Amino acid sequence: MSQATLRVQKISGHAGGVPGKDTQREYTVSKLIDTTTCIGCKACEVACMEWNDLPFGQTVFDNTYQTMPETRWNYWNLILFNEHEREDGALMWLMRKNQCMHCADPGCLAACPADGAIVQYTNGIVDFQQANCIGCGYCITGCPFDIPKMNPETHRVFKCTLCADRVSEGLEPACIKSCPTGCLHFGSKDDMKELAEARAKQLRDHSNFPHAGVYDPPGVGGTGVIYVLHDASNPEIYGGLPKNPHVPWSVKLWKGPLKWLGNVAMIGGLIGLFVHYLRYGPKAREEEDLASRPEGGRT
Amino acid sequence: MTNGWVDIKNTDMMLIMGGNPAENHPCGFKWAVEAKRTRNAKMIVVDPRFTRTASVADLFCQLRAGGDIAFLGGIINYAIENNRIAKDYLLNYTNAAFVVKDGFKLPEDGLYSGFDPATQTYDKSTWNYEEGGDLSGKASAAKADPQTKATSGKPAAPHLPENAAYDLNLEHPRCVFQLLRKQYSRYTPEMVERITGVPKEQFLKVADLFTSIRKDGDMQKVGTIIYAVGWTQHSSGTQTIRTAAMLQLLLGNIGRAGGGVNALRGHSNIQGATDMAGIFDNLPGYLKVPVPADTDFKTYIERITPKPSKPRVWESFNYWSNTPKFAVSLLKAMYGDAATKQNDWAFHYLPKVDRNYSWTYLWDNMYNGIVKGIFAFGMNGVAIGPDSKKNIDALKNADWLVVGEIYPDETSEFWRSPGISTDEMKKIQTTVYRLPCAGFAEKDGTFTNSARWLQWKNAALPMPGNSRLDQAIVAEIFLKVRDLYKKEGGKFPDPILKLTWGYTDPSNPSLAEVLKEINGKTFADSEDPATKAQLKAGQQLPGFSWLKDDGSTTCGNWIYCGAFTEAGNMTARRDNSDPSGLGIHQNWAFSWPANRRVMYNRASCNLEGKPWDASRRQVWWNEATEKWVGNDIPDFKADSKPKDHMGPFIMNAEGVGRLFVPLGAVADGPFPEHYEPTETPIENPLHPAQTHNPIAMRFKTPDDKYGTPKDGYDIICTTYRLTEHYHYWTKNNPMNVQLVPEPFVEMPEELAQEKGIRGGDTVIVSSIRGTYKAKAMVTKRIKPMTIDGKKTYQIGIPIHWGYRGIAEDEGKTAKTLANNLSPAVIDPNAYTPEFKGFLVKVEKA
Amino acid sequence: MSQAEQIIPHGHVLRYTLRERLTHWVAGFSYVYLLLTGLAFWSPWCFWIAVILGGGQVSRMLHPWAGLIFVGAVLYMYGMWAGQMRYTDIDKAWWKAVRYYSTNQDDKMPPAGRYNAGQKFLFWGFFWGGILLLLSGVVLWFPEYISWNLRFLRYLAIIVHPAAALFTIGLFMIHLYMGLFAERGAFGSVIRGDVSMAFAKRYHPGWYQEITRQAAAPRK
């Protein structure tokens, strides 16, 4: 959770209006991760730990350069290493910086029942407010990228904040600042999109990557973290980056038709029973029972 | 680096070989990526493994460790055969046209002329230029030239001929170009495949792509070669780098923005260490160290000051002719008033180096009881190796050991090495003194980076506990020793007693003061005749052109002169403006020499003094002012007219780049030749009778054993570092330990399958010298290779673990050192051990 | 206790033993807690309930435990009552005539036994609903331990749990309505345990006949 003084445009589990919605003209911010120039140096991993003061954890050698199998509640930024053989036999060692994608339509926020536990700022950052988190883990289910992670002791969920605290002060996120090769960029979504498309075109025109492209999946309304991929037609090779991510159908069903149906049914049921009582009343009047009221005890 | 980190962004073509900059120099690697992004530059990576660097390359090629000279020689052959060479550059800026002495023999049988099998040394007298004039167009008559014959019959010339013979048609059979062509005509693609294991087609792809910058004689494009210790750490390391330099000369890539031969230094200040004489045979600024034969200063200076050697019609600046000025100023800096003309500038105070004191010899001497003790500061000698067991055994024999470190390390606790029993420990009599030193962030001073930039840094943190600055520790030892000499006299107290020690706090000299001292000052008012600039007595020198050999100037290191001038600490400058856009950053820190960013930059222009590429204008000849000017500082005589044909390589006596290295400047031959690593799975396909470098240096203690496939050692092993760790330090830092927690061995899937090893299994790697235990990383990134028809596996070991550290102390690792495996055998020029490409076997634990 | 002993003097009859009443109320109270906290998680407009009940975190923490208690009680009920909840031909007829039942024309209903078909439906509804809630609830309890590969379990759980809950809420509302408002005396039966003979005769004629017949029979 950040201490940012950012305005909020979406709040999880919240009844009524959103205080910051449409009150400010602000750019949507975005990270650009150019996987074609990532060298997997892990500077971003370290910067993330340093800036956010995340505690050290144990890791085990796992036949890979990758620090750990997946992000943790206290490890929000993880480069995924994948060895991939192209159809022409050439080997690729794909490195993808994995973290919260800051979806425009965040599944975590949609699934979250706790008022204000997840917010989306007007600049697009999706941020967890652990003080409000109830530890239900619905966000874990709501996320199509497997990002939110629960602290098993405190039962609060954590993830990348896109350094909302830094961004609110006009700084780039820590990971961006630490990147030595310039594979990471930060700016307005429009600018990043333009930069990414230009780079993808360069890769198509001048390198041996005819399918190079930009990953900004529409299924979640676009993301606040976009990738340039060597092969945008096959994002799964980058450690299971979903080809067409979307908020899980069950979350949509639950938060959509079921909620509507359930509310109608419950309220309708109450009204129906009330009307039934007015129309028919009790099956037997009280006085009928009173007539045979016992005097003594019972077994 | 001839160029610099930022300059890499100007390149069109990168050959990254013998280095893994994405892994080990991620920050500098930024500029390689920048070149790709902004110029569509191509990146070729040639390495035994598919590395992090390879992951962003345009073309990757897996090479057998130790096949580098063959590979580069093959490219030279390809470039010549396909006419992908910079003809004008070659002719005018290299010694291609020079004619070599009769009697010089190429190593078709593995040996150059002059080899004496009894002493295992070369008589280098035929490794020289022919005396004489213009032999152009006289190729056929050359052999009958009486003058030539007469010269070649004389006994070995002590130095280069003043008037070198040359053939501007490059046709003379003994001209350097023809010899070069002949030498590398043997390095056919087929031969490259046999030696390196790189399939012919793949090699040709690389050769074609790299030399494509000189397609159809075009001179605009520039290619760079980037390397690191993957080239250095071989028994033919120096020659590998020479081959690269020759290729770059052939392609006309040296001196140009985006070109050059660029060594990536492995530590933040390793360049500074070599500049400041961190090598036994150098004095600061690469002045040669005196030897016992230098009976006086004059003899010494005559030996180390080269005289021009060139075609009579050309000019040579021969900048080393200023050597006396550098040497006298150095002695004045060291001994001040005690250095006078009468006492040969205190030359006799300098030790005369009588033999090889390089790293491996030092440990060998300690092993043999000759060296009694060692100061180990800022390095972990036991872990660094090679042959760690030998080093540990050597320390057992030492009387004392002083370690200045920030952590308890393997060296300071050498007696805790696994395999030493408690009884054995009791027998070790070495006294160990452990001194807590300051860490890098707790010290100020300069780092000299690979780009030769001296960059001042400030202390960021206070030192913890009782730790002290290195210079304070050294100073106190010096003061104590001086006191003892004062009190007790001794055999030769003057070199100690008369040493200049004028620091404000003698027991803790400030590094700014030291830098001022290194820069040097003048004792007399003086004037620069060219610029009319004035200097008053006592003032700091603005640059080395002010140095005098009359004792009126001091300078601790001539190449650092200009780093701390009257204008202040130039290394602390932080103006990152770059008007030319070439990444020159003239006002950022200080780049030796003379704040010049690209060395030999005269070569970036054609003979008329116009840049080869108008879009990358570094320096040029200004016709109006009749001066060399530019965005960078011209590395040239400022008023030398192009028509005078002064060579751009002003540090060579010839004034031109050396395709052929005359005399003994390189010990193992004027042209590099492929020799097999000391431990090799095959015989040398070029000359099976002479498989190894005949003068590579081996050792003879019982710990010095060299394995062969016959002994069962048939897997090629190479060692390296990881981004996540810094040498043997960061195993003490939980952050780094979290990133890569345990030692591992990278191996091909096929090898793992053969041995029944799965990823994560513990394996034992053993060489004839020792064993290493770690977990297996089974990967597609190393493939089996066919070396001279033989299926061969390569494996790789990151070096970062030992027996002290977080994981080690928690008992999570086997506590073996990677350098238990590596052999003590060294390159005969730089004395670097062969950490790459030795033989091992692998078993599942 | 034989059924004959259920008849209490003064025209009352024992309908629920203490054990049954206790079980009912364990289920009842836990269900109410589950309902309230569940509603809080169901809709932001109800989240205030969680605030009143000690906050979202406490509610989230206790909800699964309450769920276990509830399902435990339901399973115990199963043990007690499953035998009596078997579906009979009379139940079939009862359902056919349910519109009379809902319009208070109980005299037109086939004679229900100790439990009429509606009550049986409630029982089985809560039983199966409880099973579904338990299974999906366990997944929702520890979503962080369900691996990414098994995420369909989470997707299933997140929809099954509220759907099953809604179903039981429907049952619960009718149950409450019947017990508190429609059938006077029913509430007392789960408090005191007894109902009047008139109650028994009116709502559970089959059961009434059975107990009176047995009471008339001579004791052994």
Report the 3 state secondary structure along B168-233: CCCCCCCEHHHHHHHHHHCCCHHHHHHHHCCCHHHHHHHHHHHHHHHHHHCCCCCEEEEECHHHHC
CATH of the domain at A278: 1.20.5
Q: Which two tokens stand for residue B209?
A: 């792509």
Per-residue pLDDT, A292: 47
Q: Are residues B814 and B797 in the same domain?
A: yes
Note whether A39 contacts B759, CB cutoff 8 Å.
no
Q: How many CB atoms lie within 10 A of CB C26?
A: 17
Chains A, C in contact, 3 or more Cβ pairs below 8 Å = yes
Q: Which two tokens stand for residue B557?
A: 């290191």
Q: Which of C155, C181, C203 sits opposite A250 (nearest CB)?
A: C155
Rounded to an integer, the average pLDDT of C185-214 is: 84
Name the interface residues of B facing A (CB cutoff 8 Å): 22-23, 26-27, 29-30, 33-34, 36-37, 40, 50, 52-56, 58, 60, 723-724, 734-735, 738-742, 744, 759-760, 775-781
A159: nearest Cα among A243, A80, A48:
A48
Q: Which of B36, B723, B760 sits opposite A62 (nearest CB)?
A: B760
Domain, as residue range, for A41: 8-246
Q: Are residues A265 and A241 in the same domain?
A: no
Per-residue pLDDT, C11: 75
Note whether C196 contacts A293, CB cutoff 8 Å.
yes
Chains C, B in contact, 3 or more Cβ pairs below 8 Å = no
CB < 8 Å to B27, chain A = 180
Query: Which chain A residue is nearest to residue B761, measuring alpha carbons?
Result: A63
Asked if residues B339 and B551 have their Cβ atoms less than 8 Å apart, the reply is yes
Note whether B735 contacts A56, CB cutoff 8 Å.
yes
Asked if residues B404 and B377 have their Cβ atoms less than 8 Å apart, the reply is yes
d(CA B225, nearest CA chain A) in Å: 19
Q: Are residues A120 and A219 in the same domain?
A: yes
CB < 8 Å to B776, chain A = 63
Q: List all chains that touch chain C, counting a touch as 3 or more CB pairs closer than 8 Å.
A: A
Phi first, then psi, for residue B772 (nearest 5°) are -140, 130
Per-residue pLDDT, A17: 84
Note whether A70 contacts C183, CB cutoff 8 Å.
no
B635: nearest Cα among B662, B607, B659, B603:
B603
Q: Which residue has the tokens 């390809």?
A: B78
Asked, for residue A281, whether it belongs to a domain, the answer is yes
CB < 8 Å to A285, chain C = 184
Asked, for residue A16, whether it belongs to a domain, the answer is yes
Q: Are residues B738 and B803 in the same domain?
A: yes
Separation of alpha carbons A87 and A82, rounded Å: 16
Note whether B55 contacts A40, CB cutoff 8 Å.
yes
Per-residue pLDDT, B378: 87
Query: Which chain A residue is nearest to residue B777, measuring alpha carbons?
Result: A63
Number of helical H runs and strand E runs in chain A: 9, 11
Per-residue pLDDT, B697: 85
Q: Which amino acid is at A226?
A: I
Q: Are residues B415 and B526 in the same domain?
A: no
Residue B135, sorted as left (phi over 0), alpha (psi -120 to 50) or beta, turns out to be: alpha
Q: Which residue has the tokens 């590998």?
A: B240
Chains A, B in contact, 3 or more Cβ pairs below 8 Å = yes
Domain, as residue range, for B255: 6-266
Select the residue from C196, C204, C208 to test the A interface by mutation, using most A Cβ atoms within 10 A.
C196
* Domains of chain B: total: 5
Per-residue pLDDT, B531: 82
Note whether C159 contacts A250, CB cutoff 8 Å.
yes
Asked, for residue A3, whether it belongs to a domain, the answer is no
Q: pLDDT confidence of C212, banded at 50, 70, 90?
A: confident
Helices B388-397, B359-367: axis angle to 10 degrees equals 50
Note whether A295 contacts C59, CB cutoff 8 Å.
no
Q: Are residues B757 and B834 in the same domain?
A: yes
Note whether B738 contacts A57, CB cutoff 8 Å.
yes
Rounded to an integer, the average pLDDT of A175-196 is: 96
Q: List all chains that touch chain A, counting a touch as 3 or more CB pairs closer than 8 Å.
A: B, C
Give CB contacts under 8 A, 24+ apart, made by C188-194.
C189/C15, C189/C16, C190/C16, C190/C21, C190/C24, C190/C25, C191/C21, C192/A298, C193/A298, C193/C14, C193/C15, C193/C16, C193/C17, C193/C18, C193/C20, C193/C21, C194/A294, C194/A298, C194/C8, C194/C12, C194/C13, C194/C14, C194/C15
CATH of the domain at B471: 3.40.50.740
Q: pLDDT confidence of A296, banded at 50, 70, 90?
A: very low
Cβ-proximal residues to B231 (8 Å cutoff; 6+ apart), any chain? B17, B18, B19, B68, B237, B240, B241, B244
* Domains of chain A: total: 2
CA atoms in the 13 A half-sphere facing the CB of B559: 23
Query: Which chain A residue is nearest to residue B749, measuring alpha carbons?
Result: A63
Separation of alpha carbons C104 and C182, rounded Å: 9
Name the interface residues of A facing B (CB cutoff 8 Å): 36-43, 45-46, 49, 56-65, 67, 83, 85, 90-95, 180-183, 199, 202, 206-208
Note whether B724 contacts A42, CB cutoff 8 Å.
yes
> What are the CA-CA distances from residue A224 to residues A19, A188, B82, B645 (Å)?
22, 9, 51, 60
Q: Which of B26, B744, B759 sits opposite A41 (nearest CB)?
A: B26
Determine if the pTM surpasses 0.90: yes
Q: pLDDT confidence of C7, banded at 50, 70, 90?
A: low
Q: List all chains that touch chain B, counting a touch as 3 or more CB pairs closer than 8 Å.
A: A
Select the residue from C37, C45, C57 to test the A interface by mutation, using most A Cβ atoms within 10 A.
C57
Q: Are residues B110 and B239 in the same domain?
A: yes
Note whether A135 contacts C57, CB cutoff 8 Å.
yes
Separation of alpha carbons B766 and B788, rounded Å: 24
Q: pLDDT confidence of C219, banded at 50, 70, 90?
A: low
CATH of the domain at B824: 2.40.40.20
CB < 8 Å to A65, chain B = 740
- Whether pLDDT at A4 is above 50: no
Query: Which chain B residue is nearest to residue A57, measuring alpha carbons?
Result: B738
Q: Which of B739, B740, B780 sits opposite A83 (nearest CB)?
A: B780
Per-residue pLDDT, C127: 96
Q: Which of A91, A180, A182 sits opposite B780 (nearest CB)?
A: A91
Q: Are residues A232 and A109 in the same domain?
A: yes
Asked, for residue B514, whether it belongs to a domain, the answer is yes
Give the whole-number percent of chain A exceeding pLDDT 70.
93
Asked, for residue A27, whether it belongs to a domain, the answer is yes
Separation of alpha carbons B645 and B325, rounded Å: 26
Q: What are the residue ranges in chain B where pLDDT is below 70? A: 139-158
Note whether A262 contacts C5, CB cutoff 8 Å.
no
Asked, for residue B256, whether it belongs to a domain, the answer is yes
- Whether pLDDT at A259 is above 70: yes
The whole-chain average pLDDT of chain A stands at 91
- Whether pLDDT at A2 is above 50: no
CATH of the domain at B31: 3.40.228.10
Give the CATH H-level superfamily of domain C3-216: Transmembrane di-heme cytochromes, Chain C (1.20.950.20)
Q: What stretches of B8-144 show up as alpha helix (H) in DSSP?
A: 21-24, 26-39, 68-81, 87-93
CB < 8 Å to B784, chain A = none
Per-residue pLDDT, B696: 87
Q: Are residues A279 and A154 in the same domain?
A: no
Q: Are residues A71 and A101 in the same domain?
A: yes
Q: Are residues B696 and B771 in the same domain?
A: yes
Burial A228-265 (b: 16+ CB within 10 A, else e): bbbbbeebebbbbbeeebbbbebbbbbbeebeeebeeb
Q: Which of B724, B760, B780 sits opposite A61 (nearest CB)?
A: B760
Note whether C14 contacts A299, CB cutoff 8 Å.
yes
Per-residue pLDDT, B139: 55
Per-residue pLDDT, C218: 58
Q: Which two tokens stand for residue A151?
A: 């602290």
Q: Which residues pair with A228 in a beta bridge?
A: A34, A214
Note whether A37 contacts B760, CB cutoff 8 Å.
no
CB < 8 Å to C163, chain A = 258
Asked, for residue A1, whether it belongs to a domain, the answer is no
Note whether A181 contacts B735, CB cutoff 8 Å.
no
CB < 8 Å to A67, chain B = 738-740
Q: Which of A45, A56, A63 sits opposite B777 (nearest CB)?
A: A63
Separation of alpha carbons B35 and B23, rounded Å: 18
Note whether A138 contacts C158, CB cutoff 8 Å.
yes
Q: Which amino acid is at B25?
A: H
Q: Are residues B440 and B381 in the same domain?
A: yes
Note whether B776 contacts A57, CB cutoff 8 Å.
no
Three-state DSSP class for B674?
Answer: coil
Asked if residues B792 and B197 have their Cβ atoms less than 8 Å apart, the reply is yes
Asked, for residue A181, whether it belongs to a domain, the answer is yes
Q: Which two tokens stand for residue B568?
A: 């202040």
Q: Are residues A70 and A158 in the same domain?
A: yes
Separation of alpha carbons A215 and A222, rounded Å: 9
d(CA A247, nearest CA chain B) in Å: 32
Q: Is C45 exposed, middle or buried (0-12, 13-18, 19+ CB in 10 A)?
A: middle
The secondary structure of C21-51 as a DSSP string is: HHHHHHHHHHHHHHHHHHHHHH-GGGHHHHH
> What are the CA-CA distances from residue B387 to residues A219, B270, B357, B824, B840 (Å)?
58, 22, 17, 6, 13
Q: Is C43 exposed, middle or buried (0-12, 13-18, 19+ CB in 10 A)?
A: middle
Q: pLDDT confidence of C4, banded at 50, 70, 90?
A: very low
Q: Are residues A175 and A278 in the same domain?
A: no
The secondary structure of C118-134 as a DSSP string is: HHHHHHHHHHHHHHHHH
Q: Which of C55, C162, C169 sits opposite A258 (nearest CB)?
A: C162
Q: Which residue has the tokens 């969920």?
A: A157
Per-residue pLDDT, C5: 53
Q: Are residues B313 and B403 in the same domain?
A: no
Q: Which two tokens stand for residue B524?
A: 């007399």
Note whether A182 contacts B34, CB cutoff 8 Å.
yes
Domain edge (last residue) among B236, B266, B296: B266
d(CA C3, nearest CA chain A) in Å: 13
Per-residue pLDDT, C1: 43
Please state the separation of Cα B185 from the chain's center in Å. 28
Q: Is C9 exposed, middle or buried (0-12, 13-18, 19+ CB in 10 A)?
A: exposed
ω into B529 cis (within 30 of 0): no
Asked, for residue A92, whether it belongs to a domain, the answer is yes
Burial B459-495 (b: 16+ CB within 10 A, else e): beeebeeebbbbbbbebeebeeebeebeeeeeeeeeb
